[in-house]
Amino acid sequence: MLKYKIIHIMPQDKFIEPFINFMEYNFDMKEHLFLVIDYKNNYHISQKENVILISSLFLSKFKVDYDYSQKIILHGLFRFVPIFLFFNSSLLKKIFWIIWGHDLYSYKNANKNLYTKVYEYIRKKVITKIPNYVVYMKNEFELMKKVYNTDGKHFRSFVYLSNLYEENEVVKKDSSCLTLMVGNSASKTNCHKEIFDILKKYKNENIKVIVPLSYSGSKEYVDDIVKTGTQLFQDKFIPILDYMEYEKYKELLSSVDMALFNHNRQEGIGNTNLLISYGVKIYLRHGTSQYNFYNSEDIKVFDINDFDLTRLSEEDKEKNQRILKKLFSKESLKEQLKDIYDT
């Protein structure tokens, strides 16, 4: 029977391996067990004595001493995990839920059919009994309290290394052409077509429209966005359909002049942080938690409905970088995680 003070239940995702590596470097790994739910995807997870790929269906059957543990850290609340906790409610008093975004906003899909109604009923029963919530943006925590009528403790942490500020030299862009990036994935929450409607009046300008579509989303949605984008912008439309290594992806982001994120919820903050470090002008949907957060920290971002082709000033680039560097440092992340583990 495996006995660890802190158990992490986490999905097999691109954020997980760097997080575990950070933990290994900064914390006592003898206290931590990482149960990574196997999604049978391409995101590599190095299995070790305390890093184990497991089917979510076997969470309750796997030989882990949950009673011995002091804390159970949920990296998102997905798939079978709420059901596991619903039938193992004695564990709820130990739970720290790291809110990813779509695991919170899934309540919007609760009335689609009988399955979603039952699933949301189970989620709500679980969420209202969770005592600790981990999310960086305060208004996401306030939304969670409002939707689920709960008042647990708020721990502020950005958790994953994808959100860290990186020292990136602002690359001199090609002044003859504006490179626009639309969204960060193939998820419908990017609302790509709404952005295309905003951009279509500029289709005869000297622009390139880059659209990352290699992450999340269905093939049908990707095909539809590629078809629409190609019809509107022809050879100026550049869809990214294949997974890119991180360094190559960073190189792509460094070429961008403006990024338009029309998500109807908090999503892709790691992308926006990286783009800000490159001096990119960021457009967001007004009123979203991400838009409100950057404004509250005096980081210059713009309402997507006010889009124009004016580049970000050098003064605003430098100011954004200075503020972001302070907020999203490795030292800050270490202290935030320590606060969770030592509570």
Determine the pLDDT at residue 75.
Answer: 95
Distances (CA, A) of 168 to 275, 317, 321, 325: 10, 12, 9, 11
Q: Would the pLDDT of 265 be above 70?
A: no
Determine the pLDDT at residue 79.
Answer: 83
In CATH, the number for domain 6-160+330-342 is 3.40.50.2000
Share of residues in the chain with pLDDT > 90 (%): 53
Q: Would the pLDDT of 115 be above 90?
A: no
Phi and psi at residue 129, to the nearest 5°: -105, 0
Distance from C-alpha of 141 to C-alpha of 153, rounded to nearest angstrom:
9
Tokens 């290994």, residue? 24
Determine the pLDDT at residue 171.
Answer: 60
pLDDT confidence tier of residue 239, bands split at 50, 70 and 90? very high
Share of residues in the chain with pLDDT > 70 (%): 95
For the segment 2-31, the average pLDDT, to the nearest whole number, is: 93
pLDDT confidence tier of residue 138, bands split at 50, 70 and 90? confident
Strand partners, 155: 134
- Span(s) in the chain for CATH 3.40.50.2000: 6-160+330-342, 165-327
165-327 belongs to CATH 3.40.50.1100: no
Residue that wins the pLDDT comparison between 234 and 137: 234
Distance from C-alpha of 180 to C-alpha of 186, rounded to nearest angstrom:
16
pLDDT, mean over the chain: 89
Distance from C-alpha of 6 to C-alpha of 29, rounded to nearest angstrom:
10
Distance from C-alpha of 70 to C-alpha of 226, rounded to nearest angstrom:
48
Residue that wins the pLDDT comparison between 56 and 327: 327
Residue that wins the pLDDT comparison between 21 and 288: 21
Determine the pLDDT at residue 173.
Answer: 66
Reported as a single tens digit per residue, the pLDDT across 170-207 is: 566 667 799 999 998 888 888 899 999 999 999 999 99
